[in-house]
Structure 1
Amino acid sequence: FRIMRRKRGAWMNKASDPVLEFLDEHGIAAPVSVFDIELDPSRSSISRAVDDLEAYGLIERPPDYNTHFQITDLGREYLEGDVDATNLERDDVGDA
């Protein structure tokens, strides 16, 4: 990953990038409990990161798995350094 090129948003926390990286590397949809087991940040940091990443469109819930999350194309573009997260707009309307 080109971490130095990423343009993080002020809304992001220390769990934001690890969650995106995990989903991108494994190519799966996963529940928050997997992030709690696999990643170092605290459960509360991971939970907040997941809520924010979904609200900003970097991850999404697959149609048939409301408790799972997968990375979006926008999330992959952010990891590549092609998206400035400070310019993204929050959308809380899609919350389930």
Structure 2
Amino acid sequence: MTQADDRILETLADSGLVLSPRVLSANTDYSRHYLSTRLGNLRDAGLVDRIDEGLYRITDLGRAYLEGDLEADELEE
């Protein structure tokens, strides 16, 4: 997990919206390309769902991670 991963999850959780890498990029200090890569990793770990092509939302597992109920080393790589 990276600082960007935390920012992505926080932004998705705080907004309550389905967001694209482009929208996330406009609201963070990260490029769209980098966020796309990180979102793929978060999806593989079960922390976000891809709703449609390029649209993501946080999962219950992602919320548990943000709330401290789940440690990064407990996530599948």
Which TM bucket (shorter chain)?
A: 0.7 to 0.9
Separation in structure 2 between the aligned mates of residue 14 and residue 44 of structure 1, nearest angstrom: 16
CA contact (8 A) 1:14 1:45 kept: no
Q: Which has the higher contact order (CA 8 A, sep 6+)?
A: 1
Q: Over alpha carbons, which structure has the higher Rg? A: 1
Q: CA RMSD in A?
A: 1.4
Comparing both structures, which one devotes a greater share of its residues to helix? 2
Other-structure match for 2:46: 57
Give structure 1 stretches of 5+ with no counterpart.
1-11, 91-96
The one-letter amino acid of 1:81's match is G
Separation in structure 1 between the aligned mates of residue 60 and residue 53 of structure 2, nearest angstrom: 19
Give structure 2 stretches of 5+ with no counterpart.
none
- Provide the TM-score with structure 1 as the length reference: 0.72
